[in-house]
């Protein structure tokens, strides 16, 4: 193949070619390292490289030549969000307070990737403690969107989303508390999975305040790659108290695509929503109907009648301000100004906290009923496309909102624990990516992958990628 072309292939295609001996893991790694060298100074997505990456790629090549057993991700370069531990690599958590931290052990997700044959390419930039919708830190600087450097890559897994979308890696591992996998994927034109809560271990991720809502998961350019990664990552982990026990495999074949019953909430219960977002969701519904799916508008009162951002502030915010605040006590001056503000303790009456718990429980019950009659839910990932760095307010469909409003359609599924998939679907009038979101029954990620793959194939954005020409340098550099 032509020089550099391995960065254009999916993780699935690379893994298949490596297993057949048609693709050299060493060449795959060399191509991705060369692309990082060329493009990362402008993106600032990868913040630390694995110094043994090429040695490990050579070893992967020898394993193929010797006919040794190969894992499903054998020889595939993978980037890891800076909130997850990789033994021997920096794990700053996006904070100056942990700038010198190098862990001795891998997070469970990293250990499972390695067991599947993946090679850790490096660490990616992440918002401090995973607590911001923009990836801009005092340790590594700002990550920019590969489609437009004036726009955010999203947070908190913005480094992984930007790296994957720009072809610096075929696969990245991020984490999601309030949309932090799906929203950056949507902003950067990638696919992202927040699996069922407990399906993928969070052991070795920090912070773990509100552990009932944190998720670890993959970001890729293709839905099939998310399925490949999920197969390697999912499974019971005794080190994670929220880890789910092994689930019996589905009996019989997957249902036919045309048999799927899909509910539709065009605005995701998060009005105001940019018109181009609503249009993309409606067109995605049309595409699924054309494939034979039954798609009908759904009424889910607990989803649409609540401000899930406000509930998240109560359920997650006060816990974060207390637990993370204790961990950084006395060093608050070293925090990013936005994170200092986020960690200010808010007095929340106990009645408000109990009310928020009651609403979240009512939502879980309502979704259990919804999924008796539906296989999936289709809705927006986000209320708008990627916006400018440092924005303090947004105008969406003529209404002025705070930037946090953009996350509102993503947040409920962190609270409920349902699996949710962001699929790249369209471009807006300014050429920025628009994703759509599929939500499924718990532990039925296979239906998400079935519908998501079909939707991806029908998407107007299919085959398009960011134009990565000359661009201003982002603050920070790979170490």
Q: Would residue 10 show up in a list of annotated catalytic residues for this protein?
A: no
| CA pair distance 162, 164, nearest whole angstrom | 6
Which has the closest alpha carbon to 73: 8, 12, 9, 123?
12
CB burial class (10 A; 0-12, 13-18, 19+) of residue 404?
Answer: middle
Q: Two tokens at 78? A: 């993978």
Report whether 364 contacts 128 (CB < 8 A): no
| CA pair distance 17, 11, nearest whole angstrom | 10
Which three-class secondary structure state does DSSP give residue 456? helix
- Chain mean position to CA 275: 24
Check 24, 156, 201, 243 and give the catalytic one: 156
| CA pair distance 104, 285, nearest whole angstrom | 47
Q: Would residue 81 show up in a list of annotated catalytic residues for this protein?
A: yes
| CA pair distance 469, 413, nearest whole angstrom | 37
- Return the residue matching tokens 């944190």: 214
Q: Two tokens at 58? A: 């050579």
In order of 193, 268, 269, 272, 284, the CA distances from 408 in angstroms are 17, 8, 8, 10, 20
Check 24, 95, 180, 201 and give the catalytic one: 180
**DSSP assignment of 305-353:** SS-HHHHHIIIIIHHHHHHHHHHTTT-GGGS-HHHHHHTS-----HHHH
Q: Would residue 321 show up in a list of annotated catalytic residues for this protein?
A: no
| CA pair distance 31, 53, nearest whole angstrom | 12
Which has the closest alpha carbon to 172: 86, 85, 79?
79
Check 81, 114, 123, 442 and give the catalytic one: 81
In order of 90, 188, 258, the CA distances from 261 in angstroms are 45, 29, 8
- Return the residue matching tokens 């489609």: 147
Please provide the distance, in angstroms rounded to a whole number, between the alpha carbons at the two ends of the chain.
30
Rounded (10°) angle between helices 11-19 and 53-65: 50
Q: Two tokens at 405? A: 């409003």
CB atoms closer than 10 angstroms to residue 428? 17
Catalytic positions: 81, 156, 180
């Amino acid at each position: 193949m032509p020089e550099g072309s391995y960065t254009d292939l999916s993780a699935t295609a690379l893994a298949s070619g490596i297993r057949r001996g048609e693709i050299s893991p060493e060449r795959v790694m060399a191509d991705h390292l060369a692309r990082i060298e060329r493009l990362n100074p402008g993106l600032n997505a990868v913040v630390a490289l694995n110094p043994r990456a090429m040695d490990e790629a050579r070893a992967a090549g020898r394993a193929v030549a010797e006919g040794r057993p190969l894992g499903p991700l054998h020889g595939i370069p993978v980037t890891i969000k800076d909130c997850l531990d990789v033994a021997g690599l920096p794990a700053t958590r996006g904070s100056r307070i942990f700038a010198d931290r190098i862990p001795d052990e891998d997070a469970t997700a990293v250990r499972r990737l390695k067991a599947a044959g993946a090679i850790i390419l490096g660490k990616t930039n992440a918002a401090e403690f995973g607590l911001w919708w923009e990836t801009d830190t005092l340790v590594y600087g700002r990550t920019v969107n590969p489609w437009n450097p004036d726009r955010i890559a999203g947070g908190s897994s913005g480094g992984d989303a930007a790296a994957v979308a720009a072809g610096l890696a075929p696969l990245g591992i991020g984490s999601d508390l309030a949309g932090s996998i799906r929203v950056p994927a949507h902003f950067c034109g990638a696919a992202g999975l927040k699996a069922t809560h407990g399906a993928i271990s969070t052991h070795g991720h920090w912070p773990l305040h509100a552990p009932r809502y944190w998720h670890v998961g993959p970001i890729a350019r293709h839905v099939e790659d998310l399925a490949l990664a999920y197969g390697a990552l999912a499974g019971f982990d005794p080190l994670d108290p929220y880890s789910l026990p092994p689930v019996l495999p589905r009996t019989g074949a997957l249902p036919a695509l045309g048999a799927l019953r899909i509910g539709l909430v065009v605005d995701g219960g998060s009005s105001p929503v940019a018109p181009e977002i609503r249009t993309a969701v409606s067109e995605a519904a049309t595409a699924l109907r054309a494939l034979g799916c039954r798609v009908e508008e759904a009424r889910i009162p607990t989803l649409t009648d609540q401000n899930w951002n406000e509930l998240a502030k109560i359920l997650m915010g006060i816990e974060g301000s207390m637990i993370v605040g204790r961990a950084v006590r006395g060093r608050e001056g070293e925090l990013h100004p936005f994170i200092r503000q986020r960690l200010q303790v808010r007095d929340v009456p106990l009645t408000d906290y109990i009310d928020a718990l009651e609403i979240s429980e009512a939502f879980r019950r309502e979704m259990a009923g919804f999924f008796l009659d539906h296989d999936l839910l289709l809705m927006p990932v986000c209320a708008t496309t990627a916006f400018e760095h440092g924005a303090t307010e947004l105008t969406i469909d003529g209404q002025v909102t705070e930037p946090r409003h953009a996350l509102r359609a993503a947040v409920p599924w962190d609270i409920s624990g349902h699996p949710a998939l962001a699929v790249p679907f369209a471009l807006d009038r300014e050429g920025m990516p628009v994703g759509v979101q599929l939500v499924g029954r718990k532990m039925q990620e296979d239906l998400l992958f079935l519908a998501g793959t079909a939707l991806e194939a029908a998407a107007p954005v299919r085959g398009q990628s960011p134009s990565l020409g000359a661009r201003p340098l982002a603050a920070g550099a790979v170490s």
